[in-house]
Amino acid sequence: MSDVPPQDSRGLFMLPQAPEQAGYYVYGTPTRGKAQYAHPSMLTLLLAVEREWALTETRKFGVGNISVDGGVYFGHKSHRKGLEVDCRPVRKDGRHVPVVYDSPDYDLAATTKLIGLFRACAAAPLVIFFNDVRIPGTRRLDKHDDHFHVQF
């Protein structure tokens, strides 16, 4: 049995870690979902994006850090309220490992599509940080070459 509870002290729920046939995979530190407690608005957004993505894609997208139990600091200035999530850009080969936006393994079209799904499925405006300026509506931020940051 897991030592990581599915609900944290604030009442936020952990993103499901390995649902069958899901369109996403999980990564991040700490591991085993300890940094994937999401506000209901973020959880709803992630599941909506996952459903839309899985309708047309066989590759999964990577979902990383959201928030830890209680929203305590864990190496991120943000990620305290469950309203922010880090996601990996899509790789051409579909491997579940990091990729930077200037790598030949990076899939610009698929990453643009994924970020577009986040915007289309969101119930409120989003801010998205990612250093690939070719994707409309993203903002540059230091250390965001290998993941994009979505926040309400």
pLDDT tens sequence across 6-34: 999 999 999 999 888 899 999 998 888 89
d(C-alpha 139, C-alpha 3), whole Å: 37
The helix (H) or strand (E) run that includes residue 26 is strand 24-26
Are the C-beta atoms of residues 62 and 27 closer than 8 Å to each other?
yes
Are the C-beta atoms of residues 128 and 139 closer than 8 Å to each other?
yes
d(C-alpha 105, C-alpha 83), whole Å: 29
| Residue 2 confidence (pLDDT) | 60
Q: Round the average pLDDT of the chain to a whole number and report it.
A: 94
Q: Average pLDDT of 102-114?
A: 99
pLDDT at 99 over 60: yes
**Residue 49 in tokens:** 């994006």
Query: What CATH fold (topology level) applies to the domain 13-151?
Result: Muramoyl-pentapeptide Carboxypeptidase; domain 2 (3.30.1380)
d(C-alpha 151, C-alpha 86), whole Å: 9
| Crossing angle for the helix pair 108-121 and 40-56, to the nearest 10 degrees | 130
pLDDT at 142 over 60: yes
d(C-alpha 134, C-alpha 131), whole Å: 9
Q: Where are the domains of the chain?
A: 13-151
Strand partners, 151: 84, 127
3-state helix, strand, coil in the chain (%, to 5): 20, 15, 60
| Residue 78 confidence (pLDDT) | 87
Distances, alpha carbon 119 to alpha carbons 102, 116, 125, 127, in Å: 23, 5, 8, 9
pLDDT (tens digit, 9 = 90+) per residue, 49-81? 999 999 999 999 999 999 999 887 767 678 889
